[in-house]
C-alpha cells in the first residue's frame, strides 16, 4: 500500500523559513486533512519575511511588522510548531527525526527546507567580537545593538545582502564602506553599466564603495579595529559585516547519507535519494543548480505539495525568474540573459540626470534579457514580453522607452 494512501499520514517539515511555510500553505490548501503536520524551526518564533530584514535593521520597521505566521496561526491550522529547536539527526531506518533538545517525531513524509548559512571568510580575525553576518533577525538585533556604540562599519560583499546591510547601518548613523571582490556591484543581477550606475547612486547616499578589492584580514586583538585589503590598504572599523554569499545548510542531510552536491540533490518531483524525503528552497540542488529567489522556491513548494497530495504527475521545470529589488532605495530589476553573447544584440537607454539605465538584450527580435537601474516601473511589461517570447520587431525602435512609448 502506498504510504500516502493511509489516512492522516505524518508529515514533518524541517525548516520554518519562507520555503517551509510556502510548502505548508500549499499542503493546507490542497489536502488540509491528509496529514498530521509537525514543523521544526531553529529560530524561537514563527515565520517571517527575510526580504524585509533590511528595513528592520534601518529602524524603518519592527520585527512584528515582518512576521508572516505567528504561533496562533499554527494552532488555528492544527500544525505542531516546535520553535527554537533545530533538527540534528534523521533516522531513515526508523523514519524519525531528533531535535537538538531531544524531541523526536516520526514521519511518513519528510520535507527538508533548511535554507542556507552565511559564508564567513576564512581570514585572520574573522572570529573577533564585532564581526557579524546578515542572515536572520538575531543578526539584525546584534547589529542594531552594536551600532549604538560603533561609528564605522565595513561590509564585505557588494551583492544584495551586503548593500542592504550597508543601507541599514548608514540609516543608523554609521560611516559605512562596502568592499567588493568583483569589478561591479551585484554582478549576478546587473551588467557592467548598470552596476556602475548603482555604485554611483549608493555613493550619493553617503556609502563608500571599493570594487575589485579583496579582504586579507580583519584587524584587532580584543575586538575589531579595521579591515586589511590584499593591496596593502587598511580601513578603520568598529564593526565588520560579512555578506559574501551563502552555502546550503545540508549537514543533517549529509549525515543521513542523502545524495548531496552543493545542496541536497532532488529530482523533478523534489524527491531526494530517499523517496520518503523531499527538499526545497536554498538547501535543494536541482540539475546542479541551487536557487535563492522567491518565485522558483514557490514553484518547488507547489510541486512538493501536489506530490504529497497524490498528484504524481507534477514536475518542477525551472522558469525564467525576474529579480525586482529596491537596493538602498534604488529600484533595480533583472531577468534572463542580461549580459548577452555573440548571438544577441543590446538596446540601451541612459538618463544620467535621473540616474536611470536600461539594457534590453534581443535574440532574433525577441527579448531574452533585461537589466534596469533607477526606474523599474516598466519591469512587468518587459518581463511579460520576455516570458512570452514575443516578437518585438515592430516596436524595437521605441522599445527602450517603455510601455507608454
Q: Which three cell numbers stand for residue 389?
A: 517570447
CA distance 40 to 35: 15
Confidence band (pLDDT; 50, 70, 90) for 7? low
Radius of gyration over alpha carbons of the chain, in Å?
23
What digits encode the pLDDT tens for the residues 286-327? 999 999 888 899 999 999 999 999 999 999 988 777 777 777
Q: Which three cell numbers stand for residue 49?
A: 519575511
CA distance 293 to 319: 12
What digits encode the pLDDT tens for the residues 217-271? 999 999 999 999 999 999 999 999 999 989 999 999 999 999 999 999 999 999 9
Nearest-10 crossing angle of helices 18-30, 294-308: 40
* 3-117+246-308 and 322-401: identical CATH topology: no
Cβ pair 20, 50 in contact under 8 A: no
How many angstroms separate the first and last alpha carbons of the chain?
61
CA distance 142 to 161: 16
* Region of poorest pLDDT, from 117-131, 189-203, 301-315: 189-203
Phi, psi of 386 (to 5 degrees): -65, -50
Q: Which CATH superfamily, name and number, covers 322-401?
A: FAD/NAD-linked reductase, C-terminal dimerisation domain (3.30.390.30)
Q: Residues with Cβ < 8 Å from 148, sequence gap 6 or more?
A: none
Q: Which three cell numbers stand for residue 322?
A: 525576474
Q: Which CATH superfamily, name and number, covers 131-242?
A: FAD/NAD(P)-binding domain (3.50.50.60)
Locate the domains of the chain by residue range: 3-117+246-308, 131-242, 322-401
Phi, psi of 161 (to 5 degrees): -65, -40
User: Do the bridges between strand 284-286 and strand 264-266 make them parallel or antiparallel, or are there none, so unpaired?
Assistant: parallel
CA distance 229 to 26: 47
Q: What is the mean pLDDT of residues 128-154?
A: 95
Confidence band (pLDDT; 50, 70, 90) for 2? very low
Q: Which CATH superfamily, name and number, covers 3-117+246-308?
A: FAD/NAD(P)-binding domain (3.50.50.60)
Residue 224's alpha-carbon distances to 130, 150, 236, in angstroms, are: 5, 11, 9
Alpha carbon 135 to its chain centroid, in Å, reads 9
Residue 150's alpha-carbon distances to 57, 131, 139, in angstroms, are: 15, 12, 16
What ranges make up the beta strands (E) of 78-233?
79-83, 87-91, 96-99, 104-106, 109-112, 116-118, 131-133, 152-156, 175-179, 207-210, 215-219, 226-229
Cβ pair 264, 96 in contact under 8 A: no
Question: Taking the model in full, what pTM does it have?
Answer: 0.89
- Asked if residue 1 has pLDDT above 50, the reply is no
- Asked if residue 6 has pLDDT above 70, the reply is no
CA distance 259 to 131: 34
Residue of 323 and 140 predicted with greater confidence: 140
CA distance 214 to 112: 35
Q: How many CB atoms lie within 10 A of CB 301?
A: 26
Amino acid at each position: 500500500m502506498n504510504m500516502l494512501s493511509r489516512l492522516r499520514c505524518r508529515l514533518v517539515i524541517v525548516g520554518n523559513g519562507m520555503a517551509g511555510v510556502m510548502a505548508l500553505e500549499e499542503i493546507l490548501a490542497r489536502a488540509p486533512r491528509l496529514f498530521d503536520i509537525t514543523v521544526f524551526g531553529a529560530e524561537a518564533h514563527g515565520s517571517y519575511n527575510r526580504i524585509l530584514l533590511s528595513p528592520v535593521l534601518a529602524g524603518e520597521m519592527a520585527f512584528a511588522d515582518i512576521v508572516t505566521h505567528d504561533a496562533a496561526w499554527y494552532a488555528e491550522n492544527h500544525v505542531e510548531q516546535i520553535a527554537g529547536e533545530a533538527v540534528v539527526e534523521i533516522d531513515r531506518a526508523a523514519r524519525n527525526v531528533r531535535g537538538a533538545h531531544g524531541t523526536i517525531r516520526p514521519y511518513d513524509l519528510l520535507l527538508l527546507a533548511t535554507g542556507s548559512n552565511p559564508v564567513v571568510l576564512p581570514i585572520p580575525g574573522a572570529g573577533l567580537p564585532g564581526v557579524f553576518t546578515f542572515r536572520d533577525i538575531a543578526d539584525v538585533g546584534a547589529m542594531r545593538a552594536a551600532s549604538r556604540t560603533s561609528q564605522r562599519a565595513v561590509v564585505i560583499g557588494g551583492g544584495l545582502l551586503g548593500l542592504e546591510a550597508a543601507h541599514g547601518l548608514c540609516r543608523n548613523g554609521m560611516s559605512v564602506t562596502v568592499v567588493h571582490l568583483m569589478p561591479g556591484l551585484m554582478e549576478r543581477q546587473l551588467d557592467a553599466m548598470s552596476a556602475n550606475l548603482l555604485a554611483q547612486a549608493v555613493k550619493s547616499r553617503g556609502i563608500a564603495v571599493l570594487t575589485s578589492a579583496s579582504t586579507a584580514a580583519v584587524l584587532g586583538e580584543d575586538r575589531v579595529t579595521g579591515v586589511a585589503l590584499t593591496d596593502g590598504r587598511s580601513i578603520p572599523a568598529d564593526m565588520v559585516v560579512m555578506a559574501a554569499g551563502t552555502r546550503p545548510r545540508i549537514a543533517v542531510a549529509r549525515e543521513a547519507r542523502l545524495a548531496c552536491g552543493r545542496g541536497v540533490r532532488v529530482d523533478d518531483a523534489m524527491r531526494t535519494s530517499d523517496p520518503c524525503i523531499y527538499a526545497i528552497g536554498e538547501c535543494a540542488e536541482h540539475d546542479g543548480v541551487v536557487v535563492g529567489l522567491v518565485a522558483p522556491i514557490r514553484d518547488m513548494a507547489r510541486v512538493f505539495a501536489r506530490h504529497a497530495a497524490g498528484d504524481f504527475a507534477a514536475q518542477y521545470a525551472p522558469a525564467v525568474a525576474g529579480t525586482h529589488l529596491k537596493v538602498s532605495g534604488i529600484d533595480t530589476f533583472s531577468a534572463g540573459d542580461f549580459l548577452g553573447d555573440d548571438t544577441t544584440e543590446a538596446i540601451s537607454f541612459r538618463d544620467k540626470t535621473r540616474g536611470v539605465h536600461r539594457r534590453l538584450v534581443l535574440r532574433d527580435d525577441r527579448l531574452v534579457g533585461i537589466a534596469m537601474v533607477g526606474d523599474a516601473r516598466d519591469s512587468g511589461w518587459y518581463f511579460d514580453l520576455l516570458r512570452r517570447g514575443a516578437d518585438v520587431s515592430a516596436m524595437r525602435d521605441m522599445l527602450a522607452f517603455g510601455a507608454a512609448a
